[in-house]
Chains A and B, each alone.
Chain A
Amino acid sequence: MYESIIQLNLHDKKKRAEWMTFMKSLGIADFSDKEVDAIDFTLGMYDGDQLVGTGSASGNVLKYIGVCNKGVTQGSRFNAIINALTSRLYQDQVFHILVFTKLKYSESFQHLGFTELAHTELAAFLETGSPNLTDYLAELPKIDQPDRQKIAGIVMNANPFTNGHRFLVESAAKESDWVYVFVVSTDASLFTTQERVKLVKEGLSDLQNVMVVDGGAYMVSYATFPSYFLPSNVNNVTYQTMMDARIFRDQIAPALHIGTRYVGTEPLSKTTNIYNQTLLKELPPKVNVKEIQRNKNESGQYITATNVRRAIQEGDVTKVKDSLPTSTYQFIKDHLGILQSRIKKGMNIDGN
């Protein structure tokens, strides 16, 4: 029996239809543009002219993996597809690979050297290659005698950093010996990762017991979580946040001795609200969760980064001036043109 693996061009309508029919036969039915357009390349395995396996990659995340095992040794086609995908990524110098999959496939991936980072009853999150979670944790600044200290953690996207974020960190810094501020590293926001990190650092530079660190691949933002393989009646946000909470609880917090996670209440965003509910349910008793009431600016409005982004779009930053630290305000004023052109090019500003 001769099997070959070739690249599939999903822009070709016929190929795409063939691929979708095959995935549907394996129970995957979500082909929304949001998921499919993010794919960088797709490989297909053929037995004669019959598609018998496929897998895709989007950045360093493996997606849409499916094989038909009819008449062949269990696992052989799966191994071949994963091998082809990873080899291709390694050739492109991508050495750290992630996969989100149904829980029942976690073991198959572990068999190929993947390590499970967290799972829920629906899904598992695994990684392979280098640098991995251990390497990431080893790079972070450590505190002497951490078991004697009160250490807190905060995760933020900070798109951009506002006085609301600042208030949250200040509250944590007052009540703790040390605070880790993790900035989500996924580059899918109006402000680039580099800009967000810079503004967080500048806005907190006077707080001596605060460490601003890169969230790495492990403070997962909504953008990286694929959800195509979940049953459609499952609330994606709940599943994504549950996974995120468990990675923090089981991997990040114990390694850094983080005892309390601080979150801001979110009166306006439903998504963040669900996220906070999930954290409250998942983290304790291992990690305490402390909700800090969102503060208002001088004119009595809630400070949110969403409002700041809207003001940028409208070109009237002065109206959010009292919601922003000087460093952020100055940055926006200096870069208003660039930021607005990003919005014009289609950058969504209403998300997180």
Chain B
Amino acid sequence: MEIKQTAVAGTLESSDIQIMLSKGNDGIQIDLESDVKKQFGDQIESVITETLKKFDIDNAKVKAVDKGALDCVIKARTIAVAQRALKTADQPAWEVL
């Protein structure tokens, strides 16, 4: 699916992750900032990528600022940002969960 508008979900508070999703044309490009990037960077990126794939988003620029979020939080924020960017936030995609 095509990204319709740039969107953001999440905060910069501890244990959260803030994700910005905008249009891209070269696959899913993730720019991740995290204190634990060395340890969990790959895992965080794969959760984001997998979740976006479920929305059929193949091209997007992702900017993520992680403050120690657990996988479930990363997934929730990714779902929120994807639905906002696709302008489908009024029809929650429960099945993605």
Chain A interface (Cβ within 8 Å of chain B)? 76, 79-80, 82-83, 86-87, 90, 93, 95, 110-113, 128-131, 135
Contact = CB atoms under 8 A, between A and B. Distances in A.
What is the interface of chain B mostly: helix, strand, loop, or mixed? strand
Contacts of B8: 87, 90, 95
B22 A86 contact: no
Interface stretch (B10-18, B47-55, B72-80): B10-18
A93 B7 CA distance: 8
Nearest to B35: A111
Nearest to B32: A113
B61 A130 contact: yes
A80 B67 CA distance: 12
Contacts of B64: 113
B12 A129 contact: no
Given A129-B20, A129-B63, A131-B22, A83 B11 contact: yes
B2 interface: no
B71 interface: no
Contacts of B67: 79
Contacts of B61: 130, 135
Contact of B33 (A80, A82, A113, A129): A113
B12 A79 contact: yes
A76 B14 CA distance: 9
Nearest 9 A-B pairs (CB), nearest first?
A: A113-B65, A83-B12, A130-B22, A90-B8, A113-B33, A95-B6, A83-B11, A79-B12, A112-B12
Interface in B30-63: 33, 35, 61, 63
A113 to B, nearest CB: 4
28 contacts: A76-B14, A79-B14, A79-B67, A80-B12, A83-B11, A83-B18, A86-B12, A87-B8, A90-B8, A90-B20, A93-B6, A95-B6, A95-B8, A95-B20, A95-B22, A110-B33, A111-B33, A112-B33, A112-B65, A113-B18, A113-B65, A128-B63, A129-B20, A129-B63, A130-B22, A130-B61, A130-B63, A135-B61
B63 A113 contact: yes
A129 B14 CA distance: 20
Contact of A130 (B12, B20, B65): B20
Nearest to B11: A83
A80 B13 contact: yes
A76 B63 CA distance: 21
B9 to A, nearest CB: 9
B16 to A, nearest CB: 9
Contacts of A93: 6
Interface string B68-91: 000000000000000000000000
Given A79-B67, A112-B12, A130-B6, 5 more contacts: A79-B12, A95-B8, A110-B33, A111-B35, A112-B33
Contacts of A111: 33, 35
